[in-house]
Amino acid sequence: MDLDDILALARTRQPSSLERARARRFARAVQSQYDLSRAEGYEIIVDTDLVDPLATEVDEATRVARAAQLAKLGTIIWTPLGKVAGSGRLTWSDEMAMIFGHAPGTLRLTLRTLGKLVHPDDLPTVREVIRTVWRQKRPDEIIFRVVQPSGSVRHVHCHLEIVETAGRPSGLIATGEDVTALEVARQERRRRTIRSQMLAADRYPQDILTGLPTRSYLTDEVDRARRTTAGALIVVATEPATRSPATLGDEDRDELTASVAQLLRTIVGDQMTCGVVGPGLWGVLLTPVDEDSDAAETLATQIIERFRSHLFGIRQRTSRLNTWAGVVHFHGGVQASGSDLLIDGEHAAHDARTQGTPITVLDKPVLDADRTERCRARIRRAVAADRFALFAQPIVDLRLNQVTRHEILLRVPSETGELVAPTPFLDVAERVGEILAVDKWVVDHALELIGRGTQTSHYQVNISGKSLADPGLLSYVTEAIHRHRVRPECLTFEITETALIENRNEAMDFATGIREIGCGLALDDFGTGYANLAQLKYLPVDLVKIDGMFVAELRRSPANQAIVSSLVNLGHALGIQVAAEHVQDDESIELLRDCGVDFAQGYRTGRPEPIAVSPEQQVRSIEFVFRVPPQCTALG
């Protein structure tokens, strides 16, 4: 069976008795309406043309134009004169003249005037469509913009048809109407569709590895809770219970972290707020909690017991966790902020570990002065005792497909002495005003290590935006560069923008000064921190590093792709290079390359490695980097 059979079959159909009845019923309804109007003596006004549509004896163009007029549509008729292309006679109906913004009869239409009325951007398309219609002798439709004499732009839909006289094509007729409202609505619908596709499904940015909320989200949630209700914050500290943590590779560690996060989520359930506080640190927020309730302690105990008894599988091996917890109670409207409470929780967990008890409970937040003092002392101790380490992570130049740079990264010792990512540590240091000491330590030691090497790579060193306010920083850095005999052109300073640049003028002096001696300047974590577009205009920045949040999910998120490619265009327009952090797979690298990103950095191109070895290895191809199994010992 094919279409012809189906059509033939459909045509044989006679109306069923039911359908005939429907037609009869309809006829009776019309009849009764008619009779009623006669009986009651009111006249139904027939506002319709009673001309027999089939008996009109006019030429085709006039007939179509007349029909269009009845349907409140405008028409333009074109009649060619001779064989000259692009010539001919044009006439338009009053309705069409009004669509184009002209009072009827005021403008004599020619091809030239018509061309001027159409929006210049749409004119080539309109011409092409009309030519094709005439050449192929077939009808078509087109929507184009019209610029009215007042300057306003309207969207017009036109139906183009071939007019015949005595069976031969003799001209064109365009039947049109103003569809601006429809077109605007269509564009709005399209915008809304794009917006809903682009809008992230999650309400908050998730930690890439664990899928749990990040530290900053948790901090805000705690802060929100403490303003209104009484509650409790549990901070859980975990560490692998192996004798030598160094035997665990990076990927083992990531796997372990992910399964701990999963287990935590299972224990606390979906309703409760929990998140990542730092490496091996987890936070759970309970609200509201009554003053004398011990719900928080019960939950903390439960978490510790489950964590301690659970056997975590890492590849073929298994591992147990050592676990401690700190609980901080707070009442509604407490002075201490969300981040203060988080620090108190960390300290409590730390105390539990040193005291050898599973849980330490604070009935209320610590006094501000005590907390600050404790944080400061811890940082000063660490700086004085050189308890930090420096790692280097390769950065790939995507145009050369080679590692041409390294970022020097700080690693801080955790309680077990493992070297971990410094994010929470630096956060606290910035808060209590000790970040300058840390930054100076990093600059001094990084330059020392670089000075000892061959200086063939390019090194990027982090400095907090907060430290820039210190007037002595520039001379400190300059002095260190000279002392360690580092070539300034091998250095770029990355301004991390987790804290606001404290003093703009001072920061500007540092930025200008550091570039005068030949170093580069970069903005780190661009797009999520305090860095704003005005800084791209005023600060002499050479490089912008797009925050990993936009890069990690690049493949699956069209929104991230749009943001990255726009930032690249913006950067390049301003003469600024663009780097991407947290590059996790080959497809992302390809996407970044297509976007025109200059540098890529992430686990896929190389994990951070202890600096003693890394910077000495010379420029390597990216393929080589891929083959090197990651042997280093910390989270990036």
Partner 1 sequence: MTGVEGTAALTPEPADQEATRKAEAARRKAEDDQQFAAFVEASYHQVERALSAKCRDRGLVEDALNEAYLFGQIKWSTLRDHVNPAAWVVTTARYKIMKAEQSRRRETAVAPDELPPSTPQPDIADVWTAQEALRTWLHQLPRRHAEVFQMDHDGFSTQEIAHILGLTKSSVRWYRAAAKKRLRELAEEAGYTDSEGRRRPGGSHGSR
Please report, as ranges, the residues that interact with partner 1 according to CB under 8 A.
Answer: 1-7, 9-13, 15, 19-20, 22-24, 26-31, 33-34, 44, 46, 48, 50, 52-56, 60, 63-64, 66-68, 70-72, 137-139, 159, 161-164, 169, 173, 175, 181-182, 184-186
Beta-carbon count within 10 A of 119 CB: 16
Nearer to partner 1, 181 or 613 (CB): 181
Smallest distance, partner 1 to C-beta of residue 37, A: 8
Smallest distance, partner 1 to C-beta of residue 16, A: 8
Would you state the torsion angle of the CA atoms of residues 448, 453, 458, 461, taken in this order, to the nearest 10 degrees?
-20
Smallest distance, partner 1 to C-beta of residue 132, A: 13
Nearer to partner 1, 145 or 308 (CB): 145
φ, ψ of residue 181 in degrees (nearest 5): -60, -45
Smallest distance, partner 1 to C-beta of residue 80, A: 15
Q: How far, in Å, CA of 102 to CA of 90, rounded? A: 15
Nearer to partner 1, 11 or 627 (CB): 11
User: Which single residue is written with the structure tokens 């209700």?
Assistant: 229
Smallest distance, partner 1 to C-beta of residue 39, A: 12
Q: How far, in Å, CA of 169 to CA of 557, rounded? A: 53
What residues form DSSP beta bridges with 495? 463, 523
* Nearest of 563, 559, 561, 554 to residue 582 by alpha carbon: 554
Task: Report yes or no: 306 and 263 within 8 Å, Cβ to Cβ.
Answer: yes
Smallest distance, partner 1 to C-beta of residue 102, A: 22
Smallest distance, partner 1 to C-beta of residue 43, A: 9
Nearer to partner 1, 34 or 204 (CB): 34
Nearer to partner 1, 47 or 290 (CB): 47
Nearer to partner 1, 30 or 377 (CB): 30
First to last CA, the chain: 66
Nearer to partner 1, 6 or 295 (CB): 6
Nearer to partner 1, 44 or 384 (CB): 44
C-alpha separations of 221 from 228, 232, 531, 580 in Å: 11, 12, 23, 29
Nearer to partner 1, 83 or 168 (CB): 168
Beta-carbon count within 10 A of 230 CB: 19
Smallest distance, partner 1 to C-beta of residue 101, A: 19
Nearer to partner 1, 177 or 439 (CB): 177
Question: What 3-state DSSP class applies to 418?
Answer: coil
Name the residue type at position 168: R
Smallest distance, partner 1 to C-beta of residue 146, A: 18
* Nearest of 247, 275, 248, 271 to residue 261 by alpha carbon: 275
Name the residue type at position 40: E
Nearer to partner 1, 49 or 363 (CB): 49
* H or E element that contains 526: strand 520-526
Name the residue type at position 22: R
Nearer to partner 1, 171 or 636 (CB): 171
Nearer to partner 1, 30 or 367 (CB): 30
C-alpha separations of 425 from 125, 216, 283, 327, 406 in Å: 61, 13, 16, 20, 22
Nearer to partner 1, 36 or 246 (CB): 36
C-alpha separations of 471 from 57, 112, 474, 482, 513 in Å: 95, 69, 7, 19, 11
Smallest distance, partner 1 to C-beta of residue 58, A: 11
C-alpha separations of 450 from 59, 422, 459, 483, 614 in Å: 90, 21, 8, 12, 11
Question: What 3-state DSSP class applies to 330?
Answer: strand
Going by C-beta distance under 8 Å and a sequence separation of 6 or more, which residues neighbour residue 80? 87, 88, 170, 171
**DSSP at 616:** G
* H or E element that contains 571: helix 558-573
Smallest distance, partner 1 to C-beta of residue 61, A: 8
Nearer to partner 1, 63 or 374 (CB): 63
Beta-carbon count within 10 A of 150 CB: 7
Task: Report yes or no: 303 and 238 within 8 Å, Cβ to Cβ.
Answer: no
Going by C-beta distance under 8 Å and a sequence separation of 6 or more, which residues neighbour residue 107? 97, 113
Smallest distance, partner 1 to C-beta of residue 156, A: 15
Reported in sequence order, the residue ranges of 331-387 that DSSP labels E, i.e. its strands, are 359-362
Smallest distance, partner 1 to C-beta of residue 74, A: 13
φ, ψ of residue 532 in degrees (nearest 5): -125, 175
Task: Report yes or no: 314 and 252 within 8 Å, Cβ to Cβ.
Answer: yes
Question: What 3-state DSSP class applies to 349?
Answer: helix
Smallest distance, partner 1 to C-beta of residue 214, A: 40
Smallest distance, partner 1 to C-beta of residue 60, A: 5
